[in-house]
Structure 1
Amino acid sequence: MDTTACTILLVDDEAANLDLLELVLRPRGYGRLVRVADAREAVAAFEAAAPDLVLLDLHMPHRDGLAVLAELQARVPEGDFLPVLVLTADATPAARERALAAGAHDFVTKPFDRLEVLLRARNLLRTRLLHRAQRDARGAAELAAVQGRLLADEW
C-alpha cells in the first residue's frame, strides 16, 4: 500500500523541527508536506490541504497543540478517520495522557528517532487508507443493495 501520495500537515512553532521532519519524510517519497509554524494558521492549512495525517507539536505560542487538535477533530466528518501524531519535547506521562485522551492517535517525544517517526507516520497513513477503502466498499455494498431492491420491486 503506497502511502507516499498522502498529504501530511506539519504543525510546529520551531522551523528547525519542521525542517527535520521534511528531511525525514521527503527522501522516503513523501512530497505532499504542508508546513505550519504558527498554530493559529493550522486550521486554515488543514481546511486548504485536507491532510491524511497531522504531525502536531503540543507546546506552541498563541495556541497549544491540544486546542489545535480539538479544532481539527471538530472538522473531521463523522465516520472519517484522521490520524494525529503528537511530537513534543514534553516527556511527562501527564502530557502523553492528555494528548491521547484528547484524540491523538500516537505520541513521540523529542528529540525523536527518525526511523520511529517515519514508521509511525507510515503505519497511521496505512490505517487511514484502509479505513477509507473499507468505508468506500461499505458504501458501494449499500448502494448495490438498494439498487437490487429497486430492480426486484420493478419485476
Structure 2
Amino acid sequence: MDTITRSLARHSIRPDLLILEITETTAMNKPEQSVAILTRLTEMGVKASIDDFGTGYSSLLYLKRLPACELKIDRAFVHELSEAGDGATIVAAIVALAKALNLQIVAEGVENETQQQFLTQLGCHTLQGFLLGKPRTAEEIARDIRDSANIFTRPIYNINSK
C-alpha cells in the first residue's frame, strides 16, 4: 500500500489512472486479505483488474466481493474459440458473468479475426493479442518515440467499426 501511495505521489499520477492486475489465483490464495487490500486501494481511487480469470479456483462469492472494475479472460479460453469444443460456451458464460457484475471485460490472446468477431459480438470491451499488435521491446518503443516514427502514425483498430 505504502509503495503504491508513494509512487503515485512521486510521479504525480492520479490514482484513477492506475489499474492494478491481480491474478485470480493470487486473489483466492488469501481471499479475505485480497478483499481488504483491494478495498483500501479502490477507496484511494486505484482500480483493480482480475487477471487470468477462469484458470484458478475462484469462489463466486469472493469474485462478487472483490472491488474490481475489470475481468480479464485468460488466453487459454480465447484460444479454444478456434477449436471444436466448449470454449465458446465457457467464454460466453464468463462474459455474461462479468456483465452481470458490471465489470469491464478484457480478452487476452486474440490471434485471429474469428476470435475477434466472436468476442466483439458477445460485447467484450477490450481485446489484447497478436491480431492487434506484436510485443515490442522497451528499446523499440523508446526508439520509435525518439524518432517520432510508426508508433503515433499507425492506424488504431476499432473493434466497433465492423
Q: With the length of structure 2 as denominator, give the TM-score of the two structures.
A: 0.40
What is the TM-score of this pair, normalised by structure 1? 0.42
Q: Which has the higher contact order (CA 8 A, sep 6+)?
A: 1
